[in-house]
Chains A and B, each alone.
Chain A
Amino acid sequence: MTVFEQSFDVLVVGGGNAGLCAAITAREAGARVLLLESAPYFYRGGNSRHTRNLRYMHDAADGIMTGPYREDEFWDDLLRVTKGKTDEPLARMMIRTSADLGSWMMARGVRFQPSLGGTLHLGRTNAFFLGGGKALVNAYYRKAEALGVAVVYEAEVTDLAIEDGRFVSAEVVHAGERHSVRASALVVAAGGFEANIPWLREHWGEAADNFIIRGTPYNQGHVLRLLLERGAMQVGDPRQCHAVAIDGRAPKFDGGICTRVDCVALGLVLNRHGLRFYDEGEDFWPKRYAIWGRLVAQQPGQVGYVLIDSKAVGKFMPTVFPALQAASIRELAGKLELDPDTVEATVTAYNSATRPGTFDWTVLDDCRTEGLDPPKSHWALPIDTPPYYGYLLRPGITFTYLGVGVDARARVLMADGTPSDNIAAAGEIMAGNVLGEGYIAGIGMTIGSVFGRLAGKEAATHGAH
């Protein structure tokens, strides 16, 4: 008897953080669980294998984090970045429910690094996974398998039979064969649609062809589309996504974290015409990097060029690809295939607009420009010390916000607002409920973990009926 012919109480679609949390929770509650993952073994864990940390509320330093991070502060942070595009009761429930995540995760094999002081500014609010997201994913798979969750890789869910808001069966393609899988309850945790370029093109036009997908090529969003077509409520804006400016030489898919270029705040960013387009020194890079993806996406050809001089060397994270290097601005412009005259004029105009100040890249210093549009508000040192360095930037999409509506039990809401009887959703596929816009570091994993556990619990109670 193949696994597809066995009977299960809970079917989980998608084996990233959210799906694994759901599968483990449901199995611990006694349900017979089948987890289907479309990727092969190596790529299991979707975008979760690229993550580094998550955020959860805590009342005191706990060895993992350096100080308290309470409900109200978490909520304020979320409110600020989403500019109100969030569901307060749901978000507050999520924040409160996140409080025991650290110990829950550790009990299931996830390990954290000792609290990090300083550098990333996140040591108090975020817990860093020892070995990164792939270590976390591996630990959860070991746990799930030890508990007896059935896992099938290279098993893609291609259709869902849903009647009156009730899940009936799923169509699965595995090893070239179609199977129909039944279960009493369904958990969808198949991520977003960021790897589906035709879908991105529907909302971004031609520009989407120049996007780089930072994570797994397997997040095609088919399950999301199926749910929306079968009557689930849509939340979130299809154009909203988390996009950062990354090295333009990054692989088209799955380049992950190492393709970041962290020197924007220390230099100038030009577009293809050799002109600046935004205040590079507006705020610390970790707080701003998420807006630069969009900024670059809106420039002609979806490219940007960051220029620094030798004074910046050693003050930002090393890059995976070497910078282009030149002895003069004109030469660098040539290497970047930009017009040397315009670039030189842009740099000269900027240099003469800089005002003397005390440079300190660890604080919002007083080095800024005067009479320049757009201004550079901090760290505005003249670009005048050769050698000069340049990087090509492109937008790198991290994840999408369009999703299905859920209630506080992670049940999928149908278009008329009634919760589905036996379908729950978790992770990126429903992130838009709490994160309508913007981003705070580590919240993707919070959403997946909290709603994953809720979805697993909900599905297990259903399966027991």
Chain B
Amino acid sequence: MALIDTVREAERLMTICNACRYCEGHCAVFPAMEMRLAFTEGDLSYLANLCHNCGACYAHCQYAPPHEFAVNVPVTLAELRAQSYQDYTWPPQMAGVFERNGLAVSLVTAASLSLFLLATALLVDPAVLFAVHADGDFYRIIPHDVMAGLFTAVSAYVVVAFAMGFRRFWQQTGESYASFGRPRPFLQAMRDSLTLRYLDGGAGDGCTYPTEAPSQSRRVYHHLTFYGFMLCFAATSAGTIYHYVFGWQAPYGYLSVPVVLGTTGGIGLLIGPAGLLWLKHKADPDAFGHGRRGMDTGFLALLFLTSLSGLLLLVLRETSAMGVLLAVHLGIVLGLFLTLPYGKFVHAIYRFAALVRYALERSRAAERPEA
């Protein structure tokens, strides 16, 4: 059933909304809708990826169920969005992973965790594995080249998968790659995503999530998650520069750049995902959908565990627990990386691309003389 029905439902809703337009101040979805009289499947998928599931247009809809029009935009767009992730997946054979995403993510993570534990148990001398390394040197457990080689290969795969997904999304919009690179719309989209502009409800009070009272909590937790992630990424990059440019070997001191970045980011990645999970738990499923695919939960839990195991590793790196913790942490990180193209993370790619397209459409509309 799903796809055809969801597309039809989204089309029905957009037709009602386009005649009503009361929500046009809440987010980019409605102004983008207003530029159209009819909605193709591609348009709908674009609109779905512009939606943040903030709930404002449900809480404020005079036609929400039990009204006979039964308008629930966030739930339908969320469904369509999940469907679009599946459609854009590369390689397409992997699309099924989105069907039961929470389960798939857990299985992959469990497998990569077991792999690391098993490999260390088999390959590392127990005397070394359970020894106290006064300087907390990871490379005694897993050699640098093995670690770097493995994660470089996985990262390269992830980047290709993202690029292919983006390509599918962008082709469907019918826009050229040159327009994707136009500086002003691109910068506008950057600003909108880095500030989470459309989680402000339209007046700066925040979104109607998890209840109908506007609140900044979702935005704050999302910022903690996103910037936490970016700081951890920066920490890894700084470590790479230390290693290859300066020839400085890890482990680095508590006040070194990589460790400070990683610790700060890690704290963000603990609070952010935990907060988002807590909000999700409080949110009314009628308003926001049941998230039956477990996609959000799987991804958030994985981010949280990555950070938790990383921070524990840091704190306990000079104890006999270090060896096992290292294997656990790397196992979780590998699980995270492997599932990045096949889980909730992809929303970042498609939402950003959708925002670029929105900025393009806006700038074109502004260039056109009043129709």
B355-371 vs A, CB cutoff 8 Å, 1 = contact: the mask equals: 00000000000000011
- Prevailing SS type, chain B contact patch: loop
In the assembled complex, the CB of B200 is this many whole angstroms from the nearest CB of chain A, namely 11
Whether B19 pairs with A317 at a CB distance below 8 angstroms is yes
For the complex, give the distance between the alpha carbons of A313 and B38 in Å: 12
Verify if B249 is at the interface (C-beta below 8 Å from A): no
* Surface stretch bound by B, among A21-29, A256-264, A294-302, A455-463: A256-264
Whether B19 pairs with A42 at a CB distance below 8 angstroms is no
Whether A131 pairs with B62 at a CB distance below 8 angstroms is no
Whether A134 pairs with B37 at a CB distance below 8 angstroms is no
Whether A320 pairs with B15 at a CB distance below 8 angstroms is yes
Whether A49 pairs with B202 at a CB distance below 8 angstroms is no
* Surface stretch bound by A, among B63-71, B75-83, B106-114: B63-71
Which residues of A112-136 are within 8 A (CB) of B?
Answer: 112-114, 118, 128-135
Which residues of B23-49 are within 8 A (CB) of A?
Answer: 23-26, 37
Which residue of chain B is the closest to A317 with respect to CB atoms?
B19
Whether B37 pairs with A130 at a CB distance below 8 angstroms is no
For the complex, give the distance between the alpha carbons of A50 and B63 in Å: 9
Specify which chain B residues have a CB less than 8 angstroms from the CB of A259 in the assembled complex.
Answer: 19
Whether B62 pairs with A318 at a CB distance below 8 angstroms is no
Verify if B212 is at the interface (C-beta below 8 Å from A): yes
A351-395 vs B, CB cutoff 8 Å, 1 = contact: the mask equals: 000000000001000000000000000000000000000000000
Whether A256 pairs with B20 at a CB distance below 8 angstroms is yes
Verify if B160 is at the interface (C-beta below 8 Å from A): no
Specify which chain A residues have a CB less than 8 angstroms from the CB of B57 in the assembled complex.
Answer: 131
Whether B212 pairs with A320 at a CB distance below 8 angstroms is no
Specify which chain A residues have a CB less than 8 angstroms from the CB of B64 in the assembled complex.
Answer: 42
A286-297 vs B, CB cutoff 8 Å, 1 = contact: the mask equals: 000000000000
In the complex, how many residue pairs between chain A and chain B have their CB atoms under 8 Å apart?
83
For the complex, give the distance between the alpha carbons of A46 and B310 in Å: 55
For the complex, give the distance between the alpha carbons of A122 and B15 in Å: 24
Whether A130 pairs with B26 at a CB distance below 8 angstroms is yes
For the complex, give the distance between the alpha carbons of A398 and B15 in Å: 22
Specify which chain B residues have a CB less than 8 angstroms from the CB of A254 in the assembled complex.
Answer: 62, 67-68
For the complex, give the distance between the alpha carbons of A320 and B17 in Å: 8
Whether B19 pairs with A320 at a CB distance below 8 angstroms is yes
A309-344 vs B, CB cutoff 8 Å, 1 = contact: the mask equals: 000011001111000000000000000000000000
Specify which chain A residues have a CB less than 8 angstroms from the CB of B62 in the assembled complex.
Answer: 49-50, 132-134, 254, 256
Whether B68 pairs with A260 at a CB distance below 8 angstroms is no
Verify if B284 is at the interface (C-beta below 8 Å from A): no
For the complex, give the distance between the alpha carbons of A258 and B20 in Å: 5
Whether B205 pairs with A111 at a CB distance below 8 angstroms is yes
Verify if B281 is at the interface (C-beta below 8 Å from A): no
Whether B212 pairs with A256 at a CB distance below 8 angstroms is no
In-complex Cβ contact of A260 among B18, B19, B61, B201 (8 A): B19
In-complex Cβ contact of B202 among A131, A257, A317, A320 (8 A): A131
In-complex Cβ contact of A314 among B25, B26, B37 (8 A): B37
In the assembled complex, the CB of A308 is this many whole angstroms from the nearest CB of chain B, namely 14
For the complex, give the distance between the alpha carbons of A257 and B66 in Å: 17
Query: Which of the listed residues A257, A258, A317 has the most CB atoms from chain B within 10 Å of its own CB?
Result: A258
Specify which chain A residues have a CB less than 8 angstroms from the CB of B63 in the assembled complex.
Answer: 256, 258
Which residues of B312-369 are within 8 A (CB) of A?
Answer: none
In the assembled complex, the CB of B172 is this many whole angstroms from the nearest CB of chain A, namely 23
In the assembled complex, the CB of A216 is this many whole angstroms from the nearest CB of chain B, namely 10
B122-160 vs A, CB cutoff 8 Å, 1 = contact: the mask equals: 000000000000000000000000000000000000000
Verify if B16 is at the interface (C-beta below 8 Å from A): yes
Specify which chain B residues have a CB less than 8 angstroms from the CB of A131 in the assembled complex.
Answer: 22-23, 25-26, 56-57, 59-60, 202
In the assembled complex, the CB of B201 is this many whole angstroms from the nearest CB of chain A, namely 8
Verify if A196 is at the interface (C-beta below 8 Å from B): no
In-complex Cβ contact of A318 among B15, B59, B67, B201 (8 A): B15
For the complex, give the distance between the alpha carbons of A130 and B201 in Å: 9
Given the known interface contacts A42-B66, A130-B26, A130-B202, the answer about A320 and B16 at a Cβ–Cβ threshold of 8 Å is: yes
Verify if B203 is at the interface (C-beta below 8 Å from A): yes
Specify which chain B residues have a CB less than 8 angstroms from the CB of A314 in the assembled complex.
Answer: 37, 371
For the complex, give the distance between the alpha carbons of A113 and B24 in Å: 9
Which residue of chain A is the closest to B64 with respect to CB atoms?
A42
Verify if B241 is at the interface (C-beta below 8 Å from A): no
Verify if A68 is at the interface (C-beta below 8 Å from B): no
Whether A130 pairs with B25 at a CB distance below 8 angstroms is yes
Verify if B213 is at the interface (C-beta below 8 Å from A): yes
In the assembled complex, the CB of B19 is this many whole angstroms from the nearest CB of chain A, namely 4
Verify if A273 is at the interface (C-beta below 8 Å from B): no
Query: Which of the listed residues B20, B22, B67 has the most CB atoms from chain A within 10 Å of its own CB?
Result: B22
Verify if A240 is at the interface (C-beta below 8 Å from B): no
Specify which chain A residues have a CB less than 8 angstroms from the CB of B67 in the assembled complex.
Answer: 42, 254
Whether B19 pairs with A318 at a CB distance below 8 angstroms is yes
Whether A111 pairs with B16 at a CB distance below 8 angstroms is no
A86-125 vs B, CB cutoff 8 Å, 1 = contact: the mask equals: 0000000000000000000000000111100010000000
Verify if A138 is at the interface (C-beta below 8 Å from B): yes
Verify if A84 is at the interface (C-beta below 8 Å from B): no
For the complex, give the distance between the alpha carbons of A131 and B56 in Å: 8
In-complex Cβ contact of A132 among B60, B68, B213 (8 A): B60
For the complex, give the distance between the alpha carbons of A254 and B65 in Å: 13
Verify if A52 is at the interface (C-beta below 8 Å from B): yes
Verify if A249 is at the interface (C-beta below 8 Å from B): no
For the complex, give the distance between the alpha carbons of A319 and B202 in Å: 25
For the complex, give the distance between the alpha carbons of A362 and B61 in Å: 30
Question: 7 smallest A-B Cβ distances: which pairs?
Answer: A132-B22, A131-B60, A258-B19, A111-B203, A135-B60, A113-B25, A320-B19
| Residue ranges of B at the interface with A (Cβ–Cβ < 8 Å) | 15-16, 18-20, 22-26, 37, 56-57, 59-64, 66-69, 201-203, 205, 212-213, 370-371
Between A and B, 9 residue pairs with Cβ closer than 8 Å are A130-B25, A130-B202, A131-B56, A132-B23, A134-B22, A135-B60, A138-B60, A257-B20, A318-B19
| Residue ranges of A at the interface with B (Cβ–Cβ < 8 Å) | 42, 49-50, 52, 111-114, 118, 128-135, 138, 142, 251, 254, 256-260, 313-314, 317-320, 362
Since A130-B26, A134-B62, A257-B19 are in contact, a sample of 11 more A-B pairs with Cβ atoms closer than 8 Å, ordered by chain A residue number, is A52-B22, A118-B370, A130-B25, A131-B23, A131-B202, A132-B20, A134-B59, A135-B56, A318-B15, A318-B18, A320-B19
